[in-house]
Amino acid sequence: MGELPNDLLAILQALARKEITVDEAEQLIEAIMDKRTEERRKGSKSYIGRDFIINPGEEYFGKVEVVNGKAIINGRLIGDLEVVFGELIFSGEVAGNVELVGTNIVWNGGHIAGNLEMVGCSYKGAKPIVDGKVNEVNNFFINGVLGIVRNLVVKHFLSGIKIEE
């Protein structure tokens, strides 16, 4: 078995010396574990051909990029969201900007604190409340170009990629 991290060891030593109570030790350990969980979820993540899901009651810290995959946002994303040639199912909250390109969207309300940009997207449902600007570009020419890019470039390029975790 490995050694205890220094912060946990210090709490246990203070408890042994009766400098803190058992309840105080539990609170400190819980705070340390919560911070570690939060730090693991921070940062920018890219999901190529895979799903990204935030369930109700969950929070994710950092920027999320989904390419040729599905994003399901039912919880809270503290950061930006980009979905390119994918699917978005949204009922949660984004505390940042949302950029969508060539994406099929199912809106179920929710809230976007930043800007919402959609290029060549199709959507249905009740749109979220957007605090920032909403910019939508959706016309025959853009949709045609995006269709060509998706079918000739993206699918061909992604078919040769092996994704490992």
pLDDT tens digits, one per residue of 52-109: 999 999 999 889 999 989 999 999 999 999 999 899 999 999 999 999 988 999 999 9
Domain ranges of the chain: 6-41, 45-159
Tokens standing for residue 94: 């984004």
Residue with the larger pLDDT of the pair 122 and 137: 122
- pLDDT digits 0-9 by tens, 14-57: 888 888 888 888 888 888 777 766 655 556 788 888 999 999 99
Q: What is the pLDDT of residue 161?
A: 46
Confidence class for position 1, pLDDT limits 50, 70, 90: very low
Task: State the pTM of this model.
Answer: 0.64
Instruction: Give the separation between CA 59 and CA 45, rounded to whole angstroms.
Output: 14
